[in-house]
Amino acid sequence: MNPVLPEEAVQVADAARRAFNDLGGVELARHSELDPQQREKIVGVLGQLGLDALDPRSDPISLAAAAASCAEAGRVALPYPLAASLVRDSEGRPTAAIPESLARVDHADLFSEWRVGTLDGSAGFVASDATGPLHTRLGPFVGTLSDLRPAAVSATDILCQQLLVSWTVLGALENAVNLATFHVNSRIQFGKPIATFQAVQFQLADAAVTVAGLRELAGFTLWRYSSVGEAARADVFALRLHALESARAVFRTCQQLHGAAGVCDEYDISVLTRMMQPALRLPVGIEQTAALLADAVVMDGFAGLFPLGGRA
Amino acid sequence: MDFDLGDGAAELRLRLRGLIQENFGPNFLGAFTNNPNDLDATNSFCRLLASKGLLTLAWPKEFGGGGGSLWDQTVVREEMWAHHEPRGAQYMGLNWVGPALMAYGSDAQKAFHLPLIAAGDVIWCQGFSEPEAGSDLASLRTRAEPVGGAQGDQGWIINGQKIWTSYAGMAQWCIIAARVGGGERHEGITMFLVPMDSPGIEVRPIRSMLGPHHLNEVFFNDVLAAPDSVLGEIGGGWSVIKTALAHERVGIARYARCERLLSLIGAELSPHWSDLPSTLHVAWVRALVQVRVARLLAYRTVHAQERGEVPDVAASAARIAVTQCDQSVAEVLFSALDHRSLEAGSDAPLRGAVEDHWRYAQAATVASGTIEVQRMIVAKALLRGESV
């Protein structure tokens, strides 16, 4: 029993953190919103980091390195579909899960062709001709792939992308708690830091425990996916559900603890909250993820201290 | 990265489940009932575990234990709690009174007490909380006056009142915190080991939704404690309490019973389970995820202990998650049973286990340190710049 990420993965993630910070950290997301071409800077950096050659499906350490790097991307709301790009096919096409009704993916315009599929495994496509992006505050880079050609898309790869997206959300939430902690320590009201108020402390503690739990679940799910592959479907959905529910609670708390600043883009918490929305809504949001999980548990069981039936 | 506890853990789990099945009927819901046979059964079971080397599996060999790993200990805690703690009230002596004795006891105290605990022959209770000292334990007022000199050469006279004392009516021994001298707060707090049949001790049960034996008041009226009854240093009780609470906070694997009941409820309600509202099925899987997260946070704490760390903050984080999970699962199970959740006893769904779980879960966020205190510990660590 060892819940700690392998040292090799930690080193890759440390390098990614330094590189993403050198790009400006959350500031790069702000700039990219005004000038989407800024995102192209990221491609070269991923190459320098070796992330363009990393295949998370090759071995458990590569998977852990990919996951930890995605967490670093989430920490700064990196305006790039890192999770999808890490799960490439032999043609270099990124892999992403899409909604059943529309082939929407974040940063669709950054690749000429994608490999996409639904979460339930019922449909798969090679897709191109990105239209959009939406240019909205909550989905500035979300585009729609209009040319869909049916293709076999590995369910395991779709799960891998979803696993890495959850790690991205984890990184964003860890930073959200850090930002809120810094803010409540430095914000003076009634003559003292607002961190001295118990109501503030309790909210912060709950957010931190939520994120700590998400990190443990994310590690466990990495291990499950490495161990059993596609049979970890319920585990990956469980992680996604918990990531989405954690995000709803933790972003809300951390924005609230910033006061009005929590909705102002001058503060990282606002940008982080906005930029993570596509990861939280695509391909499906909380309730549909929960329904998918319920089906998966019936089909596959759910690993634990006591058996739940299913095939697992 | 590896979350497999190994074949040894799996074998231990199966062995414990087999022993429980052989020694308890399907209606067993713990020792704390009005049926004295339940207490007798748990005491017999403790002696059986002791004879097989399983009762103190995780104690160091020098103290008569099996020298098992913290993960062995974790498996034992999970299996026992999942199956309504068939060790009865003795889990407290095994989980932390024993370890506190190992850490702070004199040679004579160790020689006397540890074999009794290891043999499954003694029940301990703990006298910490007082009517005016709950979360603020350091404000306790129970006093111990030395007899025959400042070091209590002829013993100690203890006066005061303890409250919420679990199993006091069953226990043969009490580990009690009392103040010596005129110190304030942590100063002067001293731990005493006192036989519960000492003249001057009166136990009054407190009626509660938890059921009998769980909560009691204990009055100490001029109780004479022996000269060698001090555990640790005179005035050094706070360190003992911290050790005890650290063990206690990771001690109860509430998530394990949650997992077991969630796994059983579908079959219990079969064939109607699939007819229940989809919102309930979704609540059920949400509960499964919450339980998994709680277990993983507990495992993180065990892993830190294994590395020789003192994971106070991680233990508090785990405790917040585990106790909230206990209460959430209770609600999901009640929702599944609907009006039948009100039934208790052997004719009730899952032979009353869900009803019993819900009642006991109501105190989860209070017992062994309130969730508010745990939040304060977590928040203060965060604000100091530590990770949680």
Across the A/B interface, how many CB contacts are shorter than 8 Å?
147
pLDDT at B137: 87
Q: Is the pLDDT of residue B252 over 90?
A: no
Adjacency order of strands within the sheet including A95-97: A95-97, A113-117, A124-131, A142-150, A104-106
Instruction: Centre a 10 Å sphere on the Cβ of residue B284 and count the other Cβ atoms it contains.
Output: 21
Q: Check B71 against A1: CB less than 8 A apart.
A: yes
Separation CA A63–CA B116 (nearest Å): 50
One domain, residues A275 and A215: yes
Whether residue A310 lies inside any domain: the answer is no
Q: Which residues of B touch A243 (CB under 8 A)?
A: none
pLDDT at A311: 47
Residues 236-255 of A with CB under 8 A from B: 238, 241-242, 245
What is the average pLDDT across B34-47? 92
Superfamily of domain B7-122: Acyl-CoA dehydrogenase/oxidase, N-terminal domain (1.10.540.10)
Phi, psi of B225 (to 5 degrees): -100, 145
Separation CA A142–CA A130 (nearest Å): 10
| Strands B230-231, B189-195: pairing kind | antiparallel
One domain, residues A238 and A168: yes
| Strands A192-193, A95-97: pairing kind | unpaired
Q: Check A205 against B1: CB less than 8 A apart.
A: no
What is the average pLDDT across B13-42? 93
Q: Check B3 against A305: CB less than 8 A apart.
A: no
Q: Check B388 against A287: CB less than 8 A apart.
A: no
Tell me what the pLDDT averaged over chain A comes to: 96
Burial tier of A128 (Cβ tally within 10 Å: 0-12, 13-18, 19+): middle
| Strands A124-131, A95-97: pairing kind | unpaired
Q: Check B383 against A208: CB less than 8 A apart.
A: no
One domain, residues A128 and A163: no
> Considering Cα of B137, then B141, then B142, then B146, what sign does the dihedral take?
positive
A1 in contact with chain B, both atoms CB, cutoff 8 A = yes
Q: Among A201, A223, A297, select the one facing B1 at the smallest CB separation.
A: A223
SS3 B162: strand
- pLDDT, one tens digit per residue, over A133-164 is 999 999 999 999 999 999 999 999 999 999 99
SS3 B146: strand
pLDDT at A312: 37
Q: Check A177 against B382: CB less than 8 A apart.
A: yes
Q: Is the pLDDT of residue A170 over 60?
A: yes
Q: Is the pLDDT of residue A310 over 70?
A: no
Task: For A125-172, give the secondary structure using H, E and C.
Answer: EEEEEEECCCCCCCCCCEEEEEEEEECCCCHHHHHHHHHHHHHHHHHH
One domain, residues A165 and A205: yes
Separation CA B75–CA B97 (nearest Å): 19
Burial tier of B184 (Cβ tally within 10 Å: 0-12, 13-18, 19+): exposed
Q: What percent of chain B has pLDDT over 70?
A: 98
Whether residue A311 lies inside any domain: the answer is no
What is the average pLDDT across B112-139? 92
Half-sphere CA count of B106, side-chain side, radius 13 A: 13
One domain, residues A132 and A165: no
Domain boundaries, chain B: 7-122, 125-235, 250-383
Instruction: Centre a 10 Å sphere on the Cβ of residue B154 and count the other Cβ atoms it contains.
Output: 12
Say whether the peptide bond before residue A81 is cis (omega within 30 degrees of 0). no
Q: What angle do CA B27, B31, B37 make, to 5 degrees?
A: 75
CATH code linked to domain B125-235: 2.40.110.10
**Which of A86, A106, A130 is the endpoint of a domain?**
A86
Q: Which residues of A touch B256 (CB under 8 A)?
A: 305
**Which of A86, A109, A136 is the endpoint of a domain?**
A86
CATH code of residue A270: 1.20.140.10
Task: For A191-249, give the secondary structure using H, E and C.
Answer: CEEHHHCHHHHHHHHHHHHHHHHHHHHHHHHHHHHHHHHHHHHHHHHHHHHHHHHHHHH
| Strands B173-179, B156-163: pairing kind | unpaired
Phi, psi of B238 (to 5 degrees): -65, -35
**Overall number of domains in chain A:** 3
Q: Which residues of A touch B6 (CB under 8 A)?
A: 1
Whether residue A312 lies inside any domain: the answer is no
Q: Check A213 against B297: CB less than 8 A apart.
A: yes
Whether residue A309 lies inside any domain: the answer is no
Q: Check B375 against A195: CB less than 8 A apart.
A: no
Domain range enclosing A36: 7-86
Say if residues B271 and A224 touch (Cβ distance below 8 Å).
Answer: no
Residue in chain A lying closest to B263 (CA): A308
- pLDDT, one tens digit per residue, over B267-321 is 999 889 989 999 999 999 999 999 999 999 999 999 998 888 878 899 999 999 9
**Which of A105, A140, A155 is the endpoint of a domain?**
A155
Instruction: Centre a 10 Å sphere on the Cβ of residue A214 and count the other Cβ atoms it contains.
Output: 25
Q: Looking up tokens 């510990």, which residue turns up? A: B377
Q: Check B263 against A242: CB less than 8 A apart.
A: no
Q: Which residues of B touch A205 (CB under 8 A)?
A: 320, 374-376, 378-379, 382, 388
One domain, residues A273 and A226: yes
A60 in contact with chain B, both atoms CB, cutoff 8 A = yes
- The two tokens of residue A63 are 């998977």
- pLDDT, one tens digit per residue, over A54-78 is 999 999 999 999 999 999 999 999 9
One domain, residues A174 and A73: no
pLDDT at A121: 83
Q: Which residues of A touch B1 (CB under 8 A)?
A: 2-6, 60, 64, 219, 222-223
Q: Check B288 against A224: CB less than 8 A apart.
A: no
Residue in chain B lying closest to A239 (CA): B289
One domain, residues A164 and A288: yes
Q: Check B285 against A297: CB less than 8 A apart.
A: yes
Residues 112-171 of A with CB under 8 A from B: none
Q: Is the pLDDT of residue A197 over 60?
A: yes
One domain, residues A168 and A273: yes
Architecture of domain B250-383 in CATH?
A: Up-down Bundle (1.20)
One domain, residues A250 and A296: yes
- pLDDT, one tens digit per residue, over A239-285 is 999 999 999 999 999 999 999 999 999 999 999 999 999 999 999 99
Instruction: Centre a 10 Å sphere on the Cβ of residue B315 and count the other Cβ atoms it contains.
Output: 27
Q: How far is A140 from chain B (nearest CA, A)?
A: 31
A197 in contact with chain B, both atoms CB, cutoff 8 A = no
One domain, residues A277 and A142: no
Say if residues B12 and B1 touch (Cβ distance below 8 Å).
Answer: no
What is the average pLDDT across B235-255? 81
Say whether the peptide bond before residue B115 is cis (omega within 30 degrees of 0). no
